[in-house]
Structure 1
Amino acid sequence: MNRRPGGEVDGARVTSVAADLSTEEGAARVVDQLPRRTRRRPRAAPCASTAATWTPSCPEGHGSSVASWPAVIMVEDGPVTWIAPEIERVGGSKTGDERALLQGMLDWYRATLLQKCAGLTGEQLATATVPPSNLTLLGMVRHMTKVERTWFRRRFSGEAVETAYSTPEWKDADFEDLDPANAAGDHARLIEEWKLADAAVARASLDDTFVHDDGEEISLRLIYVHLIAEYARHSGHADLVRERLDGVTGA
Structure 2
Amino acid sequence: MKYLRLLLVVTLLLILTIPTQTFANVDNTDNDKQISDNYIPEYVQELVKKQEAESQFQLPEVKAWEEDLDGTIKEVIPLSERPLSSMIGEVSIMAPPKDGFVYKFDRYIADSVKRNWTYKSAGTIRIRNTLSTSTQAHYTQQNTTTTKWSVAGEISGSATIGNSFLGAVESKLSISAGRDKSWTSGRTYGVKQKIPARTTAYVTAYAVGANTGGRIAYKKYSPSGTSLVGMYYETKGGTAISKNDASIEITAKEPIK
TM-score, shorter chain, exceeding 0.5: no
TM-score range, shorter chain: under 0.3
Provide TM-score, normalisation by structure 2: 0.24
Provide TM-score, normalisation by structure 1: 0.24
Larger relative contact order (Cα-Cα within 8 Å, sequence gap ≥ 6): 2
Largest Rg, 1 or 2:
2
